[in-house]
Structure 1
Amino acid sequence: MTPKQTPQNRPLLPPGWKVPQNFRDRLGHTPGRQRVMEAEGHILIVLHEPPDSDDDTRVGRFYWRDPDGKWMPKALKHGDHALGELLAEYERVIDLLDDREQRSDSAEEYFAILRDLNPLVRAANNLHNTLQKAREAAPDDRELILMRDAAYAVARRVELLAADTRHGLDYRIAMRAEEQAEHSQQMATSAHRLNLLVAFFFPLATLAGIFGMNLHNPLEGMSRQVGPMFLVGVLLFGLMLGGLLTAFVTMPAPRKKHRGRRRNR
């Protein structure tokens, strides 16, 4: 099992590892940053587990290569490399975030994914840089070269996922801004139409308010003959006109066609 970060009263490296004392002296109570230590033909690689955005501390993973090229700790699965198991953990976390990104449909969801991706991007890049330095310290170790290349693929993948998530977030924000702009334009158009109607009927309403409109007309005789049904008809006709007026006022404003810029060839 890969050694992890331990409490302060316990050493970070297993007591059974016959590493140079220099390595133990350089390690504190916490793993610190991801780095490579080299002394007397020994190589110690300090890496981090896939980070969680809610945790301020990082969980360390330690890998030791002795002068004979033997690695400790051993992988849990026979034939694998312990470094490969750590990279597989990064891949699983990225797969989960990728699935979340595919299902996201709001700016809040995209922002939550970016919050989890930011520490993962830094950790993956530092992981790749650390393995690159370890590969330079042991240029003949074929497995280390493969792990370095796999770490680069992990770092590249998480960077692309972060970029796609940012683009998705920007797209959602742009869509909301466009919807707000269209709504504001529609409200302005409706207000302008209402102002035109008010201006058109304002003189008539003013004259009617001053002189009154109680004039004798044939409609009075029809009202006496038909009865209340005439009043109901007038009300229905007025409601129909109000509906037509409402449809005219709330009619969508015409959109302007944007001409694309011509490219100079």
Structure 2
Amino acid sequence: MSKAKLIPPLWDVPREFHERLGDRPGRQRVMLSDGHLFFVLHAPPQPDETTRTARLFWRKPDGSWQSTQTGNGLAAFEAHIEDFGKQVDSCDVMEHAAATAKEYYKVLERISPLKRASANLHHVLEEARRLLPEDRNIINLRDQAYDVSRTAELLYDATRNGMELAQTRRAEEQAAASMAMASSAHRLNLLAAFFFPLATLTAVFGMELNSGWETKYTPWPFLFVVFAGLMAGAILGAFVAQRPKK
């Protein structure tokens, strides 16, 4: 019989477990055979992690436990759940410090895989409780996993809401800035419209046209040109300032 590579060679587990376990952990699950309860679980996932690290736990028919983690017995399983809790607490600290959509997104990158993995862990322990309903230790483990899973779910929702709020606030700030820029451009257009006729007239009359009119009755021709230019600018500016009808 070929043995699964993930199962420690010194573990005398039923053959069925070797047959159902490949070279990679696959999904989190629990198996029961001849009173042996075998857990295939995942370590708390990290951001951008493409593969999952397996953590195996074996409950013998006499109620004793073994694990591939540091330590033996039931404490190793409890430490596994605590690892998830510590990761979720770390994300909670990040969420409280987040203020921008980018910072909230970093929290989501961490909490999203933790949310899924902790929920699957709770489902596995719920299945284990169904397989061995008389084991109080499994019930306690299930309740601990539920607390972690629920906390991760609430934190995920809070982070997502915070990110959406930050994005909305940023969009409002950008809209206000755009309106301010549009208002400034509008005022510049008004100034340009006001002085454009005057600039045009003065440019035309500044040409070397020896009509004699520019020197006759000085300075009234100059003042007349200035006044006519300003009046034309005011009329054109009023036309530009009109808002389009809705």
TM-score by length of 2: 0.75
Matched-pair contact (CA < 8 Å) for 2:125–2:141: yes
1:82 lines up with 2:37 in the alignment: no
Which residue identity lines up with residue 108 of structure 2 in the other structure?
A: L
Provide the residue aligned with 2:234 in structure 1: none
| d(CA) in 2 for partners of 1:54, 1:201 | 61
The Cα of 1:15 is off from its aligned counterpart by 2.8
Q: 1:234-253 CA deviation, whole Å, 9 max, x = no partner?
A: xxxxxxxxxxxxxxxxxxxx
* 1:34 partnered with 2:28: yes
Q: Is the 8 A contact 1:75 1:85 kept in 2?
A: no
Task: Give the C-alpha shift of residue 54 in structure 1.
Answer: 2.7
Give the direction of change, closer, same or farther, for the CA distance of 1:22–1:198 in structure 2 (3 Å limit): same
1:38 offset after TM fit, Å? 0.9
TM-score normalised by the chain length of structure 1: 0.70
The 1-side partners of 2:72 and 2:22 are apart by 32
For residue 140 of structure 1, the aligned residue among 124, 134, 139 is 134
Alignment of 1:54-65 (within 5 A): 54-65=48-59
Query: How far off its partner does 1:189 sit?
Result: 1.3
Deviates further, 60-69 or 81-90: 60-69
Equivalent residues of 1:101, 1:113 under 8 A apart = yes
RMSD of equivalent CA atoms:
2.6
Equivalent residue pairs, number:
209
Deviation readout 1:59-93 (Å, 9 max, x if unpaired): 11111122222222398679963221101111111
Give yes or no for the alignment of 1:207 onto 2:201: yes
Which structure 2 residues correspond to residues 4-153 of structure 1 after superposition, within 5 A? Answer: 11-73=5-67, 81-153=75-147
1:44 CA displacement:
0.7
1:184 to 152, 175, 178: 178
Note if contact 1:34-1:126 (Cα within 8 Å) is conserved in structure 2. Answer: yes
Aligned to 2:190: 196
Which runs of no fewer than 5 residues in structure 2 stay unpaired? 207-213, 221-246
- Give the whole-Å Cα distance in 2 for the aligned partners of 1:175 and 1:143: 48
2:43 aligned partner, one-letter code: E
Q: Secondary structure at the match of 1:29?
A: coil
Instruction: Give the 3 Å change call, closer, same or farther, for CA 130–53 of structure 1 in structure 2.
Output: same
Match for 1:178: what amino acid? E
Deviation track 1:35-65 (CA, whole Å, cap 9, x = no partner) reads 1111112111111110112321111111112
Identify which range, 106-115 or 88-97, moves more after superposition. Answer: 106-115
Q: Secondary structure at the match of 2:159?
A: helix
Aligned partners of 1:74 and 1:211: how far apart in 2? Answer: 96
Mapped to 2, the partners of 1:12 and 1:185 lie a distance apart of 62
User: d(CA) in 2 for partners of 1:34 and 1:115?
Assistant: 21
Determine the C-alpha separation between the residues in 2 that align with 1:111 and 1:11.
37
Instruction: Say if 1:74 and 1:122 are closer, same or farther in 2 by CA, change over 3 A.
Output: closer
Once residues 86 and 210 of structure 1 are traced to their aligned partners in structure 2, the CA distance between those partners, rounded to angstroms, is 88
CA contact (8 A) 2:30 2:37 kept: yes
- Per-residue CA shift, 1:105-140, capped at 9, x if unaligned? 332222222122222111111111111000100101
